[in-house]
């Protein structure tokens, strides 16, 4: 991995930002500690020196001289300042040759640069001066060498604590960046194989459930959906070829027979039969285009409140004469208004397709029932429209397949149709977020449109419905 790629990695940049924020925060904290240490120690020295100078100003001459001698002689580090001047400013004793200029006599501590008798150069010190009753002045002080040394120790300690912390954060960023880069490279390689045509490849998941895992999981779901759609497209192509081959062959044979016939009427009949077959092919293509149109979710913008019982009633009125003409009893059960949000025309089309299939596949003397009620497969009751019949039923093994485009059961191929009715219903259900459930047995099929949140594939055995 190139170094520039590592530095551009998100985790490294995040660690770099965190290290910068950590450094700024620690510098602020350490700066405050440094300042407080210096300030507190300075105030303490000023307070002690002011008190000692005030006491010295009240002390007898002989005792003061002794105390100053002891103070200077016991100072092995040469940091003590002690001097006694008379009223004329002449030194009587101490390690200062003259009264420091600019030193106010105000019972306060002051920081000045002074040079004692035993010092080679001026040095900063804190001084306090007090006036005696005879006009003399006592000056006591202490060089700031110890304070400056303490400040240097504090600064070194703070820097020594800051550098390892920043180094640790940056090292974590480098390791995290390298790990993230490896994951990204793996994802890129997998995507490259997918782009090369291997749609069965899936992005790897680390199991950490982090953002990359969540993104990879969503991409894998998208790939699953793409593969499913491509499989459907291939199946549609196969089914179109299978279902159109026969009518086209028949159409060609009829036209050839009409052309070979000597009578014009024979040609006319052949042309009419060919037109009927063309209308059937056009109907199949129109239905496919209709399903593609329904899969565009932009139509959801026109959804309104629709009474499901009213929709079922209109479909009942439409198909009752057709069922009666075939000798099939069409009945309706409605418990009252059931309101859902959707496209009224599409819901009528969906229920009409269910009823049309039921009437088509129910033999003479059979019964078809349209029922609207509250129910569903989950714990919460939702509006349901259910169409049941006494036809041959749909085998459990083929219930997921019958909603595919152009799929037809072998036992129903002799019945006119194009295998797109349930595909259209499924598309309308998906557009509305509803669930299409197929159930039944050898005595008939039960197909329900559950008008609640769709889950799974939307097709299956609903079990025991409430």
Rounded (10°) angle between helices 308-326 and 344-361: 30
Asked if residue 449 has pLDDT above 80, the reply is yes
Residues 41 and 74 grouped into a single domain: yes
Structure tokens at 335: 């418990």
Give pLDDT, residue 302. 67
Residues 143 and 42 grouped into a single domain: yes
3-state secondary structure the chain: CCHHHHHHCHHHHHHHHHHHHHHHHHHHHHHHHHHHHHHHHHHHHHHHHHHHHHHHHCCCHHHHHHHHHHHHHCCCCCCEEEEEECCCCCEEEECCCCCCCCCCCCCCCEEEEECCCCCCCCEEEEEEEEECCCCCEEEEEEECHHHHHHHHHHHHHHHHHHHHHHHHHHHHHHHHHHHHHHHHHHHHHHHHHHHCCCCCCCCCCCCCCCHHHHHHHHHHHHHHHHHHHHHHHHHHHHHHHHHHHHHHHHHHHHHHHHHHCCCHHHHHHHHHHHHHHHHHHHHHHHHHHHHHHHCCHHHHHHCEEEEHHHHHHHHHHHHHHHHHHHCCEEEEEECCCCEEEECHHHHHHHHHHHHHHHHHHCCCCCEEEEEEEEECCCCCCEEEEEEEECCCCCCHHHCCCCCCCCCCCHHHCCCCCCCCHHHHHHHHHHHHCCEEEEEEECCEEEEEEECCCCCCCCCCCCCCCC
In the sheet that holds 382-389, the strands lie side by side as 329-334, 367-375, 382-389, 444-450, 435-441
Give pLDDT, residue 85. 92
Residues 262 and 355 grouped into a single domain: no
Give pLDDT, residue 370. 92
Domain contains 205: no
Give the mean pLDDT of the chain.
78
Residues 282 and 230 grouped into a single domain: yes
Cβ-count burial of 178 within 10 angstroms (0-12 exposed, 13-18 middle, 19+ buried)? middle
Residues 55 and 166 grouped into a single domain: yes
Domain contains 458: no
Asked if residue 458 has pLDDT above 60, the reply is no
Asked if residue 411 has pLDDT above 60, the reply is no
- The residues, ordered by sequence, that sit 6+ positions from 189 with a Cβ below 8 Å of its Cβ are none
Between 403 and 424, residue with greater pLDDT: 424
Domain contains 206: no
Beta pairing class for 367-375 and 329-334 = parallel
| CATH number of domain containing 231 | 1.10.287
Residues 65 and 135 grouped into a single domain: yes
Give per-residue pLDDT as tens, 19-44: 777 777 777 777 787 777 778 878 88
Q: Domain boundary at 200, 234, 269, which?
A: 200
Residues 132 and 37 grouped into a single domain: yes
Domain contains 236: yes
- The residues, ordered by sequence, that sit 6+ positions from 103 with a Cβ below 8 Å of its Cβ are 110, 112, 127, 129, 139
Q: Which residue is it, tokens 């640790």?
A: 168
Beta pairing partners, 448: 386, 437
Domain contains 464: no
- Lowest-pLDDT range of 61-70, 222-231, 252-261: 252-261
Q: Domain boundary at 292, 326, 341, which?
A: 292
Between 116 and 8, residue with greater pLDDT: 116
Domain contains 118: yes
Residues 136 and 236 grouped into a single domain: no
Give per-residue pLDDT as tens, 116-164: 887 778 888 889 999 998 889 999 998 887 777 777 777 787 777 777 8
Give pLDDT, residue 291. 61
Residues 366 and 326 grouped into a single domain: yes
Q: Which residue is it, tokens 């990204």?
A: 184
The fraction of the chain above a pLDDT of 70, given in percent, is 78
Asked if residue 300 has pLDDT above 70, the reply is no
Give yes or no for a contact between 409 and 397, defined as CB atoms under 8 angstroms apart. no
Residues 141 and 6 grouped into a single domain: yes
Give pLDDT, residue 239. 61
Cβ-count burial of 109 within 10 angstroms (0-12 exposed, 13-18 middle, 19+ buried)? buried
- Lowest-pLDDT range of 167-181, 249-263, 312-326, 413-427: 413-427
Domain contains 390: yes
Q: Which residue is it, tokens 């100003």?
A: 57
Asked if residue 454 has pLDDT above 50, the reply is no
Angle at 29 between CA 25 and CA 33, to 5 degrees: 165
Neighbouring C-alpha atoms within 13 Å toward the C-beta of 445: 25
Residues 164 and 277 grouped into a single domain: no
Give pLDDT, residue 253. 78
Domain contains 460: no
| CATH number of domain containing 397 | 3.30.565.10
Asked if residue 14 has pLDDT above 70, the reply is no
pTM: 0.46
Q: Domain boundary at 172, 200, 228, which?
A: 200
- The mean pLDDT of 413-439, rounded to a whole number, is 75
Give per-residue pLDDT as tens, 324-348: 888 999 999 887 888 888 888 888 8
Domain holding 90, by residue range, is 1-200
Number of domains in the chain: 3
Asked if residue 461 has pLDDT above 50, the reply is no
Give pLDDT, residue 463. 36
- The mean pLDDT of 85-92, rounded to a whole number, is 89
- Least Cα distance to 406 among 414, 396, 397, 417 occurs for 417
Residues 32 and 120 grouped into a single domain: yes
């Amino acid at each position: 991995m190139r170094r520039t790629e590592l530095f551009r990695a998100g985790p490294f940049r995040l660690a770099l930002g965190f290290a910068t924020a950590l450094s700024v925060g620690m510098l602020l904290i350490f700066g405050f500690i440094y300042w407080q240490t210096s300030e507190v120690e300075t105030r303490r020295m000023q307070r002690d020196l002011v008190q000692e100078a005030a006491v010295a100003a009240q002390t007898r001459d002989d005792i003061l001289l002794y105390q100053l001698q002891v103070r200077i002689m016991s100072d092995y580090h040469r940091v003590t300042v002690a001097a006694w001047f008379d009223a004329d400013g002449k030194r009587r004793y101490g390690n200062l040759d003259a009264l420091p200029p600019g030193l106010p006599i105000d019972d306060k501590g002051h920081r000045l640069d002074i040079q004692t008798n035993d010092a080679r150069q001026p040095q900063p010190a804190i001084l306090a001066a007090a006036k005696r009753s005879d006009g003399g002045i006592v000056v006591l002080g202490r060089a700031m060498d110890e304070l400056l040394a303490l400040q240097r120790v504090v600064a070194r300690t703070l820097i020594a604590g800051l550098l390892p912390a920043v180094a640790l954060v940056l090292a974590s960023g480098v390791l995290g960046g390298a790990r993230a880069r490896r994951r990204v490279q793996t994802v890129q390689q997998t995507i490259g194989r997918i782009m090369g045509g291997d749609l069965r490849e899936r992005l790897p998941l680390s199991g950490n459930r982090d953002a990359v895992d969540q993104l990879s999981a969503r991409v894998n779901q998208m790939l699953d959906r793409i593969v499913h759609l491509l499989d459907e497209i291939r199946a549609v192509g196969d089914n179109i070829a299978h279902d159109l081959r026969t009518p086209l062959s028949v159409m060609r044979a009829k036209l050839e027979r009409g052309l070979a016939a000597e009578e014009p009427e024979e040609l006319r009949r052949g042309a009419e039969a060919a037109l009927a077959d063309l209308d059937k092919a056009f109907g199949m293509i129109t239905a496919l285009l209709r399903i593609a149109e329904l899969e565009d979710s932009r139509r959801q913008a026109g959804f309104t409140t629709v009474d499901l019982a009213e929709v079922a009633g209109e479909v009942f009125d439409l198909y009752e004469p057709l069922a009666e003409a075939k000798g099939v009893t069409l009945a309706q059960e409605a418990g009252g208004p059931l309101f859902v949000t959707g496209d009224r025309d599409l819901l009528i089309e969906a229920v009409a397709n269910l009823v049309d299939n039921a009437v088509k596949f129910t033999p003479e003397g059979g019964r078809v029932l349209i029922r609207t009620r509250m129910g569903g497969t989950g714990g919460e009751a939702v509006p349901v429209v259910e169409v049941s019949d006494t036809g041959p039923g749909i085998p459990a093994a083929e219930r997921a397949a019958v909603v595919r485009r152009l799929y037809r059961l072998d036992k129903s191929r002799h019945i006119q149709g194009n295998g797109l009715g349930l595909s259209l219903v499924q598309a309308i259900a998906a557009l509305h977020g509803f669930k299409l459930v197929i159930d039944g047995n050898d005595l008939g099929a039960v197909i329900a449109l559950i008008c609640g949140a769709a889950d799974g594939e939307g097709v299956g055995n609903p079990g025991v419905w409430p």
